[in-house]
Amino acid sequence: MELTGSQILIECFKEQGVDTVFGYPGGAILNVYDELYKHSDEIRHILTSHEQGASHAADGYARATGKVGVCLATSGPGATNLVTGIATAYMDSVPMVAITCNVGKGLLGRDSFQEVDISGITMPITKHNFIIKDAEALAPALRKAFAIARSGRPGPVLVDITKNATADKAEYEYRKPEEPKRVTDTIKEEDIEKALEMIQKAERPFIFVGGGSVISGASEAVNAFAHKVHAPVCDSLMGKGAFNGTDPLYTGMLGMHGTKASNFGVAHCDLLITLGARFSDRVTGDTNRFAKKAKILQIDIDPAEINKNVLVNGSVIGDVKSVLDILNEKLPELKHDAWVEEVEALKNQYPLKFDDDRLTGPYVVEELYRVTKGDAVITTEVGQNQMWAAQYYKYKEPRTFLTSGGLGTMGYGLGASIGAKIGRPDKTVVNVAGDGCFRMNMNEIATAARYNVPIIELVLNNHVLGMVRQWQTLYYGERYSATVLNDQVDFVKLAEAMGAVGIRVTKKDEVAPAIEKAISLGRPVVLECVIDSDDKVFPMMSPGAPLEETFDADDLKK
Shared-domain flag, residues 17 and 111 = yes
CA distance 243 to 29: 43
For residues 159 and 296, state if they share a domain. no
Based on the fold, state whether residues 342 and 373 are members of the same structural domain.
Answer: no
Query: Number of folded domains in the chain?
Result: 3
Query: Are 428 and 522 in the same domain?
Result: yes
Confidence of residue 558 (pLDDT cuts 50, 70, 90): confident
What pLDDT score was predicted for residue 500? 98
End-to-end CA distance of the chain: 77
Note whether residue 146 is domain-resident.
Answer: yes
- Is 0.95 topped by the overall pTM? yes
Residue 284 lies in a domain: yes
Rounded Cα distance between 188 and 174, Å, is: 38
Condensed to tens digits (0 to 9), the pLDDT of residues 456-471 reads 999 999 999 999 999 9
Same domain, 366 and 343: no
Mean pLDDT of the chain: 97
Across the range 238-244, mean pLDDT stands at 98
* Domain around 131: 2-171
Instruction: Kindly state the percentage of the chain with pLDDT values over 70.
Output: 100
Say if residues 216 and 321 touch (Cβ distance below 8 Å): yes
Same domain as 224, residue 275: yes
Residues with catalytic annotation?
Answer: 51, 113-114, 163, 467
Domain boundary among 325, 349, 373: 349
195 in the same domain as 137: no
SS3 call for 527: strand
Percent of the chain, pLDDT > 90?
97
Of the three residues 316, 349, 382, the one that is the final residue of a domain is 349
In a domain, 379, yes or no: yes
Range list of H helices, 233-285? 260-268, 281-284
pLDDT tens for each residue of 194-211: 999 999 999 999 999 999
Q: Is residue 213 part of a domain?
A: yes
pLDDT at 364: 98
pLDDT at residue 178, as a whole number: 86
**Per-residue model confidence (pLDDT) at position 107:** 82
pLDDT for 111: 86
157-199 pLDDT, tens digit each: 999 999 999 999 999 999 999 888 999 999 999 999 999 999 9
Nearest to 448 by CA among 426, 415, 492: 415
For the domain that residue 445 is a member of, what is the CATH number?
3.40.50.970
Answer yes or no: do 167 and 198 share one domain.
Answer: no
421: pLDDT strictly greater than 90? yes
Residue 322: give its domain's CATH number: 3.40.50.1220
Helix (H), strand (E), coil (C) string for 140-164: HHHHHHHHHHHCCCCCEEEEEEEHH
Is residue 539, in this structure, part of any structural domain at all? no
Co-location of 264 and 134 in the same domain: no
- Give the per-residue pLDDT at 487: 86
Same domain, 480 and 509: yes
- Residue 159 is predicted with a pLDDT of 98
Tens of pLDDT along 7-42?
999 999 999 999 999 999 999 999 999 999 999 999
pLDDT digits (tens, 9 = 90+) for 78-101: 999 999 999 999 999 999 999 999
pLDDT in tens, 100-157: 999 999 888 888 999 999 999 999 999 999 999 999 999 999 999 999 999 999 999 9
pLDDT at residue 403 tops 90: yes
